[in-house]
Every structure is written in C-alpha cells, then in structure tokens.
C-alpha cells in the first residue's frame, strides 16, 4: 500500500502528532507513507518528500505545533487543469490512497475525490472545532488554552487601570473558541457569530460588571456579525471565504463600548498566536488516536471516511456527511451558559 499524506488549510497544533500516529501504525502494517508538501497544492505540482516517512521522520513530532508537511489553501476543484494535475500525480507517484488532514475545505476536496473514484481518508483538524460528525477537532483545546492565558493577562491590566478590554479570537462561522475561552477565562460578555449582536445588552452588562469589580472583559469571535458591514469588496481565499483579518471586530466593539458607557476601553487580538505553539496534552492524545484510526481505515480499505471522536470512542464516519454542514454553537448551550456572565 502506497499512501500520500497531506495537510491543508490553516495550520493548528496536533497536525504533527496526528501524522506521527498515522505513520507509526502504517509502519506496523508495512505501508509506505509519502509526505505531500503544502496541501493540495503539493499534489497539483507534484511536490513529494524524497523518501517515505519513517520513525525518524515522525518520532520527534509529538510536541511540535504547525505542520511539518506545510500547508496551503488550494482548491483543485476550482480549476479543471489543477484537478487533472492532481489525478496525473496520484497515478505518477502510484498512490493507492490519499490521507488528508484538514478542516471542512480540505476534507471537502477529499470527499469530492472519493466521489470521483480516488480512495481517501480524512483526519479532522481545526482550531475552530466546527466540523460535523466529530465531538472535537484537535487544535481547539490548544487554541482555547492560549486565549485563556491571554484573558488572565488582560484581566491584570483591566483591573489595574479600571478598564474594559475586548479580546478578539478566531472563529469564522462558529464561536466555540470564544465560548470556551470566555467561560474558562471568566469573561463578562461573550459574542459569537451564532448570536445576533445586541450592543445595548452588552453595554448594560459591562456597566454592571464594572460597577461591581472595577473592570470588564469581553471575548468576541472574529466572525461576530457587525451592523452595517459591507463585505462586497472584501478579499476572498481559494474557497471563497472572506479574509476576516481586516474586519477588526475587537476594535469596533471597544470603540462602541467606550462611546456608549464612557468607560475606558481597549482591544486586543490573539490572531495567529492562538494557532501556534505546542499542542496541549489533550490535542496530542486526540491527534495520535485519530492518526492510528485512519491507518486502520486504510488497512481495512474503508475509504471515503473521516475518523472522529464520539464521546470517548474513535470512530470512522462518512466523509461527505462531515463536510456538508458546519457544527455551530447551539443557542441553548449559549443561553444556559449566560448565567455565568449576566449578573
Ligand atoms: O483555521 C480556521 C481559521 O483559524 C479561522 O478561524 C480564521 O478565520 C482563519 O483560519 C484565518 O486563517 P489565515 O489568516 O491563516 O488564512
């Protein structure tokens, strides 16, 4: 069995431990695993490592963030010539199967390839934690940890200067990172893409928190819907997503809070800081288990699957189900948790 493995989309902690788990188990089966560089772009251009991945190549990856295979946001289905190149390279390198580590976009390509007759297996990653069919994706726990540390640090300054501080965190369509970081960091208000923005309600809450303890902390997803936002001219990535970096949600909210409450307010954003660094212990274990399960799928020729965690079990689910719809934060969950910050 000759397998091509790639990592696509935004990097996140856990990709290296997942490929390590996959390669370790593949060695037991006697498979040859070839690293494809830079996601789908590597398969379009035929950029493959010069020898199969062995124990030495992956052994030291358990604590390394990012992806040692490198990544790109390339969508070969946007361009028939690129898709043709992908097919040609799969046959040139003699790959019997492609293992893709990625989020909705990368796994969407793997799902389409499977429908087009290419054996694929997907391993879910995204710090956004928004993939369907799995309870968690690796990268999420690590990113939440970074953001909680940021909140703890920001609280010191907020308290010292009697300020309000807004922390903007990643999360395009789903607010899992903001919700978990905000709850674990004891935020006074949390804003998610799933919950309509009510600036008055937020300001009322902030004023109460400030009156009580002398400062306030707001955590907001970068994807929070802002009023009168015109994104018709915004830059898009290869999968058609607006590049959110220029939105400056935190800055917008900080200005509004200061204007409406008269409280001195600052904003901060963890940006790509939250996506880098060593994976948490939870992500290392989850990623390792998913990598091993993916190798088992290949061994069983159980293709068109994405490996997933359900409860405490690692399972294989249909990849097309996993990429159809995003797993967003249920409103009931958010509403239940508001008791922690609506005092
Ligand atoms: O991986 C998902 C994500 O982290 C989103 O939350 C964010 O909007 C996006 O990636 C930003 O990615 P980049 O700036 O690296 O293209």
The pLDDT tens digits for 274-313 are 999 999 999 999 999 999 999 999 999 999 999 999 999 9
Asked if the structure places residue 331 within a domain, the reply is no
Q: Could you tell me if 30 and 98 lie in one domain?
A: yes
128 pLDDT exceeds 90? yes
Q: Could you tell me if 271 and 284 lie in one domain?
A: no
The sign of the CA dihedral 109, 113, 114, 120 is negative
Domain count of the fold of the chain: 2
pLDDT at 189: 98
The alpha carbon of 10 and the centre of ligand 1 are apart by a number of angstroms equal to 6
Q: Could you tell me if 60 and 121 lie in one domain?
A: yes
Asked if the structure places residue 343 within a domain, the reply is no
179 pLDDT exceeds 90? yes
The alpha carbon of 239 and the centre of ligand 1 are apart by a number of angstroms equal to 12
| Short-list 306, 281, 312, 280, CA closest to 291 | 306
Q: Could you tell me if 212 and 232 lie in one domain?
A: yes
pLDDT tens-digit map of 140-161: 999 999 999 999 999 999 999 9
Catalytic residue numbers read 128
Q: Could you tell me if 166 and 106 lie in one domain?
A: no
Confidence of residue 324 (pLDDT cuts 50, 70, 90): confident
Indicate if ligand 1 lies below 6 Å from the C-beta of 124. no
Do residues 6 and 58 touch, judged by C-beta distance below 8 A?
no
The alpha carbon of 82 and the centre of ligand 1 are apart by a number of angstroms equal to 23
Confidence of residue 232 (pLDDT cuts 50, 70, 90): confident
Which residue has its alpha carbon closest to ligand 1 atom 3? Answer: 10
Farthest-apart Cα atoms in the chain, separation:
68
Asked if the structure places residue 330 within a domain, the reply is no
Asked if the structure places residue 260 within a domain, the reply is yes
Confidence of residue 239 (pLDDT cuts 50, 70, 90): confident
Asked if the structure places residue 337 within a domain, the reply is no
Q: Could you tell me if 107 and 194 lie in one domain?
A: no
193 pLDDT exceeds 90? yes
Residue 245 CA, closest ligand 1 atom number: 14
Q: Could you tell me if 114 and 170 lie in one domain?
A: no
Distances (CA, A) of 120 to 6, 105, 116, 135, 306: 11, 14, 10, 21, 9
Q: Compute and round to an integer the Cα radius of gyration of the chain.
A: 21
The Cα 114–Cα 320 span in angstroms is 9
Asked if the structure places residue 12 within a domain, the reply is yes
Residue 170 CA, closest ligand 1 atom number: 6
Q: Could you tell me if 197 and 155 lie in one domain?
A: yes
Asked if the structure places residue 219 within a domain, the reply is yes
Q: Could you tell me if 133 and 6 lie in one domain?
A: yes
Q: Could you tell me if 224 and 317 lie in one domain?
A: no
20 pLDDT exceeds 80? yes
CATH of the domain at 215: 3.40.50.460
Indicate if ligand 1 lies below 6 Å from the C-beta of 173. no
CATH of the domain at 50: 3.40.50.450
Do residues 220 and 199 touch, judged by C-beta distance below 8 A?
no
Note down the domain range covering 316.
Answer: 2-138+279-324
Q: Could you tell me if 113 and 235 lie in one domain?
A: no
Indicate if ligand 1 lies below 6 Å from the C-beta of 126. yes
pLDDT averaged over the chain?
A: 96
The neighbour count for residue 77, using CB atoms within 10 Å, is 16
Q: Could you tell me if 263 and 292 lie in one domain?
A: no
pLDDT at 234: 80
Asked if the structure places residue 339 within a domain, the reply is no
């Amino acid at each position: 069995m000759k397998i091509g493995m790639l990592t696509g989309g935004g990097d996140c902690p856990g990709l290296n431990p997942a490929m390590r788990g996959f390669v370790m188990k593949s060695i037991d089966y006697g498979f040859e695993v070839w690293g494809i560089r830079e996601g789908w772009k590597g398969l379009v251009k035929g950029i493959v490592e010069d020898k199969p991945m062995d124990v030495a190549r992956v052994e030291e990856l358990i604590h390394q963030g990012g992806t040692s295979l490198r990544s790109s946001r390339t969508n070969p289905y946007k361009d028939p010539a690129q898709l043709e190149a992908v097919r040609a390279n799969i046959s040139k390198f003699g790959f019997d199967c492609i293992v893709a580590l990625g989020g909705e976009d990368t796994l969407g390509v793997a799902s389409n390839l499977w429908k087009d007759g290419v054996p694929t297996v997907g391993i879910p990653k995204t710090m956004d934690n928004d993939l369907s069919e799995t309870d968690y994706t690796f990268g999420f726990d690590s990113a939440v940890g970074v953001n909680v540390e940021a909140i703890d640090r920001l609280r010191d300054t907020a308290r010292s200067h009697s300020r309000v501080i807004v922390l903007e965190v990643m999360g395009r369509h789903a607010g899992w990172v903001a919700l978990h970081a905000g709850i674990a960091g004891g935020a006074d208000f949390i804003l998610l893409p799933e919950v309509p923005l009510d600036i008055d309600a937020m300001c009322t809450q902030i004023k109460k928190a400030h009156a009580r303890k002398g400062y306030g902390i707001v955590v907001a997803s970068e994807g929070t819907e802002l009023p009168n936002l015109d994104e018709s001219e915004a830059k898009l990535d290869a999968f058609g997503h607006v590049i959110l970096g220029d939105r400056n949600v935190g800055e917008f909210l900080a200005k509004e809070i200061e204007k409406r409450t008269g409280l001195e307010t600052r904003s901060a954003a963890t940006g790509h800081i939250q996506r880098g660094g060593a994976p948490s212990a939870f992500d290392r274990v989850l990623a390792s288990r998913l990598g091993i399960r993916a190798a088992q799928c290949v061994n069983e020729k159980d293709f068109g699957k994405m490996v997933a965690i359900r409860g405490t079990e690692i399972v294989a689910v249909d990849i097309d189900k996993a990429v159809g719809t995003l797993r967003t934060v249920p409103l009931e969950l958010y509403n239940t948790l508001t008791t922690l910050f609506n005092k």
